[in-house]
Structure 1
Amino acid sequence: MKKTLTLILLTIFLFTITLTTSSYSKNVLIVKIDGIINIATEELINEAVNLATTSNFEAIVILIDTPGGMMDSTFKIVNTIENSKIPVIGYVYPVGGKAWSAGTIILMSCHIAAMSPGSVIGSCQPVSFNPLGGSEPINDTKIINALTTYLIERARMHSRNETAARSFVEKNLNLGAEDALRNGVVELIASSIDELLKAVNGVQVHTISGDVKLNTENAQIVSFTPGLRVNILKIICEPTIAYLLLLLGLYALIFGFATPGYGGEAVGAILIVLGLIGLGLLSVNILSLILIGLGAILLVAELVTPGFGIIGSGGIFCIIIGTLLLMSGPMLVTSEWLTTFYTMGVSIAAVLGGFMLFAAYKVLKARRAKPVIGVMIGDEAVAIDDIGPGSYGFVRYHGEYWKAKANQNVKKGQKVLIKDKDGPILVVEPLKE
């Protein structure tokens, strides 16, 4: 009895120790930003910060490796970081990674900014796309001054180099890890996450809830796994996929109206909505939509008019030009990436447009073809079987075997005349020579 009681008390004690140790364990959440910054990235950071807050993590480390992205999404990510009660560490990683444009703005908004050896930051001047001249830096003083002041304030909040912040936007300054550390743009350089957490241990930062002293040495690293919503957004927000969804939806809509009853209208509408969400088009240039809509109307007209080529080509042209104008607003990406994206976009539009015209040609050819049934009636065939009145047999017509019936006796090998067609069955009679 005493042994049993002792065992129970020992179990309770060990369980209590386990709970206490667990409640005081140090966890650091790792979340990765790679690729283009868009709506999916915005949701990713929002989910990660919410998890870290509710689970009382010691810190959040954002691994940044990006060429840039959408300006609106960047500002929303910065807002999420600045309103986080949990310290956020921005870390340009892996070794040799980059945080260009929007990535630099996100890094400068973090409570601690760090870089890996060989990594690069900078090039924050926004760019737009000119259909006649390719990607172009935006020199509008209203936009440049606003973005410059915005980045300078982020630098001032964290006691970082304000001159460099200005040059990131106005001169497209780029800095490697060593130069960034030497010029007071980042706080440290680390080759690995473990080295980073050891270096920031004991550092005091100011969050929205007050001063926080980091306790990250030997902390348990937890990699953030995004939910289904973020994963879906990540797929449809990939610029090429989003653009493809938009075009496929447009063509599905056209076929849906041209050949009703197959659900093409519904599929097209869904794909168009997904494409617009993926492209982040909360506000869209009206002229672009008018051009795209006109292109769709011209392609529909191509399907129903006797002419071929000119109307459809005009529709494809309108869609391509409308697409080029569709995303003409400022973006925080490199000009090379934007040029590549638009080149791919125009190529996809041209290829899909070619398929559309080919399909339209086939549809028109089928519609204008002489009815097969009308041609069969009055033609000759050859009996393969003996066919008596009220019985069935087979006849050969243009090399094909057809089931047939007759009201008169037909001998095998005899030529017959096709008088009618009853569903799939031919009605024949002996050919009188």
Structure 2
Amino acid sequence: MRFLQRFCIILFLIFILISSIAPGIVSAQDERRVLVLEISDSITPVTDDIIADAIAFAENEDYEALVITLNTPGGGLDETLNIIEQIGVTDVPVIGYVYPEGTQAWSAGTLILISTDIAAMAPFTVIGSAQPVTVTTGGSEPVNDSKVINAIVTRTTESAKKHGRNQTAAAEFITENLNLDAETALEYDVIEYVSPSVEDLLVQVDGEEIKGRVLETEGATIVYYDTPLRLAFMNIISNPIVSSLLLLLGIYAVILGISNPGFGAELFGIVAIALGLIGTGFDVNIGAVFLILVGIGLIVLELQAPGIGIFGIAGLVCIIAGSVLLAPTDFPRNYTPADFQRTILVSVVAPTILVGLFLLFALYKVVEVRKRKPQFGELLGETATVIRPIEPGSEGYVLHRGEYWKARSGVSIEKGDKVTIMEKDDTVLIVEPVKEEKAESAEE
């Protein structure tokens, strides 16, 4: 009997122990999370900050892995190297994933993908075109400086070697502008997985041993990284096209505000210039800004001393040339394929021409208004018709050139009589009856 009692007590204690441990096990399984960060634009200094913040978040919250989805034309080389370094030093497994279908990760995006712990692509995506180029007036030219090329090739092949990937293909992305689709990249051992979705990718990588830990990603909760407001705003203005346009619009607004003060254009211009400078990281071509300012000066000179238009044309040429130099298309500040660099140029130059023409028109109108004779001066001495009787001490109404005006006079004037406008008191006309001789002559 005592044995039975002891046995029941032991079973009860075991039941309590299992009951207390089991929720913890289930909770631990439920807490498996994967953080997903979307990179869907050019790689800029702000991209560095966003990735650093996402990595720190994944480390602090003990995420299973960080998935970086890549859909980018490329970006700055310095920023790319910083991202590669961040991926290498973190303890969190980083999965690079070119996603969604039909997108690409060119130039800097390819280098980042090769540096991740696990590389994957969605179907119908493309990587490659990592040879540095500069856009010229005759098209585009590859950067052939061996010091630059060898440094990028070595960095990329070392990343490929570290993760057991095809080093030859990694080098040819840069030296030959090699491009690969998802299936070919998998066949050439440039990536490890082809997957149509993040959920499917997490099932495929489950069980992989990365950075000393075995991934348990199948069924894990997917959490999408929410960019802090400050970084989200910085990410917008750091876009090469947006920052360049902010600088140009700011310069135009300041000049327009100085030419026609009182509307706050100069204040808007100062704010736009400040945001543009912040967006570019203060890396601005001083020569480009000088050309734009010279162009504005020539347009103003044309308006002040109008001639055959030579100063105005020269001004617009200077503005366009400055815009071309201001656009961030030079290597290594912008490490992207030539086609995207040309897109940046068109996006900056086309609005520049439109804004320049608008500025020319606006300044012309300002000068025209300033030279125009004041309208109320033209009223003096002209004739109007009384449409409401005027009595001394009270106001009536007169009709002048289709416009109704309040009017007063020192004598009584009947409706339909003609009056002469003598002066103007704010919005009220001071009138006198038309003299008899003038009235008779008008009737004849």
Q: Same fold (TM over 0.5)?
A: yes
**2:357 equivalent among 349, 354, 359:** 354
Say whether 1:197 aligns with 2:238.
no
Distance in 1 (CA, whole Å) between partners of 2:104 and 2:90 is 24
Matched with 2:225 is: 224
- Residue 420 of structure 1: how far off its partner (Å): 0.9
- The 3-state SS of whatever aligns with 1:384 is strand
Q: Is the 8 A contact 2:132 2:336 kept in 1?
A: yes
Q: Is the 8 A contact 1:128 1:328 kept in 2?
A: yes
Moved more, 342-351 or 421-430: 342-351
Matched with 1:7 is: none
- The 3-state SS of whatever aligns with 1:118 is coil
TM-score, normalised relative to structure 1: 0.89
Matched with 2:286 is: 286
Say whether 1:277 aligns with 2:278.
yes
State which structure, 1 or 2, has the greater radius of gyration over its C-alpha atoms: 2
- Number of residue-to-residue matches in the alignment: 416
**1:167 equivalent among 168, 172, 178:** 172
Matched with 1:43 is: 49
**Which consecutive unaligned segments of at least 5 residues does structure 1 have?**
1-9
Q: Is the 8 A contact 1:137 1:335 kept in 2?
A: no
- Identical positions, percent: 44
Q: 1:383/1:15 Cα in 2 relative to 1: closer, same or farther (>3 Å)?
A: farther
TM-score, normalised relative to structure 2: 0.87
> Equivalent residues in 2 for 1:336-347 (5 A)?
336-347=339-350
- Residue 377 of structure 1: how far off its partner (Å): 1.2
Task: Specify the code of the residue in structure 2 equivalent to 1:156.
Answer: K
Distance in 2 (CA, whole Å) between partners of 1:366 and 1:164 is 66
> Equivalent residues in 2 for 1:290-369 (5 A)?
290-302=290-302, 304-307=304-307, 309-326=309-326, 327-330=328-331, 331-369=334-372
Matched with 1:4 is: none
Q: Is the 8 A contact 2:295 2:316 kept in 1?
A: yes
Matched with 1:182 is: 187
- The 3-state SS of whatever aligns with 2:204 is helix
The superposition leaves residues 1-50 of structure 1 with CA deviations (integer Å, 9 ceiling, x where unpaired) of xxxxxxxxx9xx98986566445521001111223223443333222212
Distance in 2 (CA, whole Å) between partners of 1:55 and 1:15 is 24
The superposition leaves residues 246-283 of structure 1 with CA deviations (integer Å, 9 ceiling, x where unpaired) of 222121111111122332222101112223333x2532
Say whether 1:59 aligns with 2:65.
yes
Q: Is the 8 A contact 1:258 1:303 kept in 2?
A: no
Q: Is the 8 A contact 2:182 2:194 kept in 1?
A: yes
- Residue 125 of structure 1: how far off its partner (Å): 0.7
Distance in 1 (CA, whole Å) between partners of 2:299 and 2:82 is 39
Q: 1:416/1:96 Cα in 2 relative to 1: closer, same or farther (>3 Å)?
A: closer
**Which consecutive unaligned segments of at least 5 residues does structure 2 have?**
1-14, 438-444
Task: Specify the code of the residue in structure 2 equivalent to 1:275.
Answer: G
Q: Is the 8 A contact 2:300 2:363 kept in 1?
A: no
Q: Is the 8 A contact 2:388 2:397 kept in 1?
A: yes
Moved more, 393-402 or 46-55: 46-55
**2:417 equivalent among 392, 411, 414:** 414
**1:95 equivalent among 101, 112, 118:** 101
The superposition leaves residues 308-333 of structure 1 with CA deviations (integer Å, 9 ceiling, x where unpaired) of 84333322211210121223421222
Distance in 2 (CA, whole Å) between partners of 1:431 and 1:22 is 99
**2:161 equivalent among 156, 160, 173:** 156
Q: Is the 8 A contact 1:181 1:189 kept in 2?
A: yes
